[in-house]
Amino acid sequence: MTAVGAVRSFLSAITRNGVSLAGAALTTAAALLFFSLFAIESLGFERGPYLGIITFMVVPAMLVLGLVLIPVGIARERRRHRLAAERGVPPPRLPVLDLNLDRTRTMLLVFVAASVVNFVILALATYKSVEVMETTKFCGTACHSVMHPEYTAYQRSPHARVPCVDCHIGSGAGWFVKSKLTGSWQLISVNLDLYPKPIPAPVHDLRPARDTCEHCHTPAAFAGDRLEVLTRFQEDEPNTELKTVLLMRLGGRRGTTSSGVHWHADPSVRIRYRSDPKRETIGAVELTRPDGSVSTFTSPNAKAAGEGEWRTMDCVDCHNRASHVFRLPQREIDRAIAEGRIDRSIPFIRREGLKVLQADYGSHDEARQKIASGLAAFYAASHPSVETAKIDAAAGELGRIYASNVFPAMNVKWGAYPSHLGHTDTPGCFRCHDGEHADPSGKTIAQDCDLCHAALAVEEESPEVLKALQP
C-alpha cells in the first residue's frame, strides 16, 4: 500500500464520525494557531502575559484535546456498528499488526511521524509555558487586581529590574516544584475569590535570604559608614524645609570581626527570635556568638514571648519591603516636594496635600478627581493668586502618589505594609532594641542612640555639616 493510500485510509477512518472529525479539526487549528503565535513572538513583536498564556498553555491544551477525540470517535463508531450487528456475530478481535503488509507499515510510519511532530509541539509548549509563568509580567498582571498593589510597588522599588522569581523561587528544582504546588492553590483561590484582602505579609514560606538575597548582597562585605540626609517640610505657609543628617554605621564584616548595623548578618553570628505571625511584636531573642555561647533575651510585656514559632533572622527581617515599597503619605509628599514634582512655592501645599491624601476614596479614579477638586476649591477660596497650572500639577502628582500606595479594591490602605527599617514610623529596630528584652542576669539588648547612627543634625533649616560638605 502506498503512502497516499495510507493517508486516504486514515482520513476515511476519522471522517466517518463527527467526534473524530471535530478532533481532527481542533488539532489542525490548534497546530496552525500555535505556530502562528510562536512566529509572532520569535519575530520580536511586543506581547503581553495573556498572549503567552494562550500560546503556550491554552492552544497546546486544545491540541491535546483534539488528539484525544480522534481515537475516541473511531472507537465510538466501531462500537456503534458492533451493537447494530445481528446477534450471533462474533465480537471483533484485537487488531493484528502484520508488518509484512505494506499498508500496515505505511500506517505505522504515518502514526509515528505524526506522534513525533505532536511530541515536539507539546515539549516546546511545555517549556515555553514554564518560561511564561516565570516572567515578571505574568506574576504581576495575570491575576488582575490581586497582585496589582505588589506589582505597582515592585516597579518603583530598587529591585525593579530583578525578576520576581529570583527572590521568590531562586535556583534549583526543589523550590521550583514547591512554587508550582503553591501556585496551584493560588490559582484556585483567585478563580473562586477565596484570597484575603489585603494579601497577608510577611510570606512565611519565602525562601531563606542566603539562597536569594546573598547571591548579590554578600554579608561578608564591609560597607562602612554612609551619610543619610532626610528632608521634611513643615505644614506652615512657606512649607519650611528641615533637614536631618545622620551618619549611618552600616558596618559589616572586616577581618574576623563585625560592627555596625550589618553585624546582625555576620555568618559567625546566629540570631533567632520568636514573634507574632506578622513579626511586629518580638517576645524572645536568642543570640549565639562566634565562641558558641548563647544568650536569650525575653520581653516581659510581649504576648508573643510564649507564643509563635522560632525563626532564624536574615535580611528580610529588617529589609522586609526591599522590593514592594509602600510609603506613608507624609514621606511621599516630602519626597515629591524635595524632588520638585510638587511646587514648594504653593502656600500650605504640604498641609493641604497631606489632608487630601489621607481622605478615604472608593477607587483611584475617584481619588484623582476629588484630590483635584479639593485642592482647587481650597486655593480658589484662600489663595486665588496661585497659578492654576501649579495647582493642577500638584493635584496630578498627589493622585499618582495615592494610586501607588493605596488600593481600595484590595483593601490596601496607608500603612498596610509597614517597613521595619528604622524606627520613626514603625517600631522597626525597637522590636528588639527597646531596652526591655533582658537575659536572666538582667542584661538588656542595647538601645543607645548612637548604636546604629550618629546624628549630625536634627531637623535644622540649614545644617552646618551640609555647608561644610557642600560649600
Q: Which residue has the higher pLDDT, 315 or 112?
A: 315
Least confident of 237-251, 257-271, 286-300, 345-359: 257-271
Residues 395-407 have pLDDT tens digits of 999 999 999 999 9
What angle do the packed helices 349-357 and 388-405 form, to 10 degrees? 40
Overall average pLDDT of the 409-418 stretch: 94
What cell numbers appear for 78 in the block? 466501531
pLDDT, one tens digit per residue, over 282-335 is: 999 999 998 999 999 999 876 645 567 899 999 999 999 999 999 999 999 999
pLDDT tens-digit readout, 334-359: 999 999 999 999 999 999 999 999 99
**CA-CA distances (angstroms) from residue 381 to 234, 237, 376, 461?**
22, 15, 9, 30
Preceding omega of 208 cis (within 30 degrees of 0): no
Burial 416-450 (b: 16+ CB within 10 A, else e): bbbbbbbeeebbbbbbbbbebbbbeeeeebeeeee
Alpha-carbon torsion (19, 21, 25, 31), positive or negative: positive
Domain ranges of the chain: 3-133, 137-199, 215-323+421-469, 329-410
Average pLDDT of the chain, as a whole number: 84
DSSP letters for 206-248? PPPGGGTGGGTS-TTSEEEEEEEEEEEE-SSTT--EEEEEEEE
- What are the C-alpha distances in Å from 361 to residues 40, 301, 342, 445? 42, 37, 21, 43
Contact 10, 107 (CB under 8 A): yes
pLDDT at res. 336: 97
pTM of the complete model? 0.77
Closest by Cα among 62, 40, 64, 43 to 52: 40
> Taking the CB of residue 35, how many other CB atoms lie within 10 A of it?
13
| Interval 66-88: pLDDT, tens | 888 888 887 877 777 777 676 66
DSSP string computed for 261-316: GGGGG-TT-EEEEEE-TTS-SEEEEEEE-TTS-EEEEE-SS-GGGGSS-EEE--GG
Confidence of residue 8 (pLDDT cuts 50, 70, 90): low
pLDDT of residue 178: 76
Of 415, 411, 439, 414, nearest in space to 427 by CA = 415
pLDDT digits (tens, 9 = 90+) for 173-217: 677 767 767 777 777 777 778 888 999 999 888 888 888 888 888
Looking at the DSSP assignment, which residues form a beta bridge with residue 11?
none
Q: Report residue 49 CA to chain centroid gap.
A: 15
